[in-house]
Amino acid sequence: MANLQKGVLDKVQHFFSKEKFSYEVIIVDDGSSDGSVQFLEEFIKENPEFRMIKGKHYGKAGAVTKGVLATKGQYVLFTDMDQATPIEELDNLLPYLKKGYAVVIGSRNATRKGAPWTRVFMAKSMMFLRGTLVGLKDIRDTQCGFKLFSREAAQRIFRRVDSLHEGFAEIAGSSVTAGFDVELLFLASQMGYKIKEVPVHWLYVETRRVSPIRDSIEGVLSLIRIRQNALQGKYKEVKR
């Protein structure tokens, strides 16, 4: 709700209103109970290009997946509500889809401006473990919540993610779900899609209480799960 009150949707609407292409903005409500739904319903009345998907609390992975699978456009971007990466950065990613890349991801600088040392340490540790357990060594930042896909790639990748997680189960509390972004890009690589990493402006915005120990353990377990899935051949069938 705090992000909505800061006017993030107005900023998104203002950006797209100046573009020459048609667009839709899908907002996935992840089982909120703080008045966000009512706020969004009022906003949507005045902005028909925006629509909302209401759901249970599935966490980031489930929410993003359901939102992407509901899209209709030629290009599909998912971005965090806090707009830590401003929507204007889309202009820097779009040209690469036209150059033949199917997946274009935003990449934050190594200093992670504004982030506390615990977040920086966790990020660098995850980078090391990801390279060791999963690979994707050519990608520096898998976790930035600003990723652009061609429609064909988005539908294929996210349908597979939805299937692997059996539609996602309802959860309690917050979850970093670090493995979600890694799994997306791992699947994209397995499917043979070209991935381009593009530097973007980014400013840390704290939207949840961080638990370095809990979140780090969850992140490591998610990487181990991806590694096990790969060894068991669960990703092989999606190769092109």
pTM for this model (two decimals): 0.86
Residue 2: what residue type?
A
CA dihedral 9, 11, 13, 14 (to 10 degrees): 160
> Is domain 59-238 in CATH 1.10.287, yes or no?
no
Q: pLDDT tens digits, residue range 119-139?
A: 666 667 777 777 788 878 889
Q: What is the pLDDT of residue 204?
A: 73
Determine the pLDDT at residue 238.
47
Residue 118 pLDDT greater than 50, yes or no: yes
Q: What is the dihedral of CA 134, 101, 110, 86, to 10 degrees?
A: -120
Pick 211 or 73 by higher pLDDT: 73
CA–CA–CA angle 76, 81, 84 (5° rounding): 95
C-alpha to C-alpha distance for 203 and 191, rounded to whole angstroms: 32
Give the count of beta carbons closer than 10 Å to the beta carbon of residue 90. 21
Query: Residue 107 in contact with residue 197, Cβ under 8 Å?
Result: yes
Mean confidence (pLDDT) of the chain: 87
CB 61 within 8 A of CB 177: yes
Per-residue pLDDT of 169-180, as tens digits, reads 888 766 556 689
User: Mean pLDDT across the stretch 15-30?
Assistant: 94
Neighbours of 38 (CB within 10 A): 11
Q: What is the pLDDT averaged over residues 143-162?
A: 95
Q: Nearest-CA neighbor of 151 among 78, 240, 99, 73?
A: 73
**Phi and psi at residue 62, to the nearest 5°:** -65, -40
- Specify whether the backbone of 203 is left (phi greater than 0), alpha (psi in -120 to 50) or beta: beta
Higher-pLDDT residue of 71 and 204 is 71
Q: Determine the length of the chain.
A: 240
Q: DSSP letter at 88?
A: G
Classify residue 130 by burial, with Cβ atoms within 10 Å: 0-12, 13-18, 19+: buried
Residue 112 has pLDDT above 60, yes or no: no
